[in-house]
Each structure stands twice: as C-alpha cells, then as structure tokens.
Amino acid sequence: MVSKTDNITSVPELRIDSGLSSAQIAVSVESYINEMASQQAMPAPSNDLLYFFELLQNAIKSKEVSEDIPEDRRLLVVATDPPEKIDTEAITFYLRARTPGQWNRGAAGEARIKEVVPHVRSVVQHPEHQGEKLVTCGKFYDNYVTLNVYAKDDYIALSRVMWLENVMDSFRWYFRVHRISRVIEQGVGDKEKVEIGGLTLTKYPMSYFVRTEDTFQFGSQELKHVELNTYVSTTLEED
C-alpha cells in the first residue's frame, strides 16, 4: 500500500521531550494542517484500520527521511506476517482483535457501553445543495494490533523496538490530526527466532490499542427518501 496523504518531508516529528514549547508544537501542527489543506491532501471523512496502517507507513518513512536513511536501506513495512521476503529488517502489521468502540458513562463502576451502531457526528449546511443539510455519521472501533519487528540479531531487533516506540510517540499528534484518536502501547512480547528465506531472524511482537472510526455522509434529502420508501414499503406489506 502506497500512501497518498502526505508529502513526507512536511510531517514534523514532535516528541514531548523535544525541548519545544507548547506554542512551538501548536505552530508546527497548524502549519502541517494548513499545508495539507492547501494541497487538498487531507483525507476524506472515512477512516479505518487500513488508513491507520497507511499513516504508520508515513510516520516511519518520515523518520527515516529525517535520519537521512538511503532508500535502499529503509525498512520493509508490510501488512503480511510473516513477510514473504526480507533482507535483514522488517516491521509487519496485523489485527488480533476488533470490537465496537466502548467507553464508560456515568459514575465509576458502571457497565461499559459499546457503540454497536453508527451515530450522528455532525449536521452542517450542505456545501453544494442550498437548503439541504449534510449529515455525518460514525462508529468507533477498538482495534488490538500487533507490530512484529524482525532483524538479523537480538541487539538490532531490540534497538529497532526502541526506535519504533520513539516513532509512535513522536507522531502521536499526527495520528490524532487524521482522526485516529488513540494509539496506546500495551507492551512488548517475548522474542522469537524465526527462519525466513534461509535467514534466521529475531522477532519481537509489539502490541498496540488503536481507536479508529468508520464515518460516512449523506444529504438530509437522501435520508427523507429512505424514510419515505421504507414507510411506503411497510404500508404496502400491511395492506
């Protein structure tokens, strides 16, 4: 999957401990948003897990660009595990579990509520049809993702784990700008030795919780047509 959302060199790396003030960080984020808007590169309202993977590819590539890593030495980042072909290092991405988004409501200790159906997110004036409203609906999902780090020995694999943690921290703002509201590390698992293409590699699994949102839009007139057709069909069936 090749990302089309960004000019990679325009994505700033913003760590909390980078020494930048809150104002400087805010200016960098605003500058990025304005640049993407001017290029008409901000994404459509629909977001999901595959879009998060695309953003992750962008973040990793941006980090490599900032470190002046030559293209022929950059990481293989794929959504196939184990990778079918690998030289010395790779990061793979796969989904372990996915459930409707849930949250707590009310006093502590109350049962969790799952968003099992889409809900209205916003209603605004339709930009193209005068007098009509544009309705945006969405549904949150809680995704449990594993990023597997593959490298030629234990030390390089562990170093890459630390490097990837740094990337996830530095670009947390970037995921949020693109409406991936939560990316939370859940831990690093036990290392394994695996063979791929005749190479013996070290593998470390990294677990993440990722909150995504599926959204869709429709005009208010379209909703009225759906309601009318449903009413007419039901009436005819009753007759």
Q: Using the structure block, give the residue that is written with the tokens 């009318």.
A: 228
223 Cβ partners below 8 Å, 6+ apart?
135
Q: Which of 92, 44, 56, 85 is nearest to 170 (CA)?
A: 56
In degrees, to the nearest 5, what angle opens at C-alpha 59 toward C-alphas 57 and 65? 100
> HSE of 143 in the Cβ direction (CA atoms, 13 Å)?
25
Largest CA distance in the chain: 75
Please state the pTM of the whole predicted model.
Answer: 0.72
In degrees, to the nearest 5, what angle opens at C-alpha 99 toward C-alphas 93 and 100? 130
List the chain pLDDT tens, one digit each, 239 residues.
444 455 555 676 666 556 666 776 677 666 666 666 555 555 444 458 888 999 999 999 989 988 899 988 889 999 988 888 888 799 999 999 999 888 765 554 454 677 777 777 777 777 777 777 777 777 888 999 999 999 999 999 999 999 999 999 989 889 988 888 889 999 999 999 999 988 899 999 999 999 988 777 777 665 554 444 443 344 444 44
Give the chain's end-to-end CA distance (angstroms, integer).
52
**Confidence (pLDDT) at 95:** 94
Tell me the sheet residues that pair with 41. none
**Confidence (pLDDT) at 113:** 74
* φ/ψ of residue 87, rounded to 5: -90, -75
**Confidence (pLDDT) at 93:** 95
Q: Which of 110, 103, 105, 78 is nearest to 92 (CA)?
A: 78
**Confidence (pLDDT) at 3:** 46
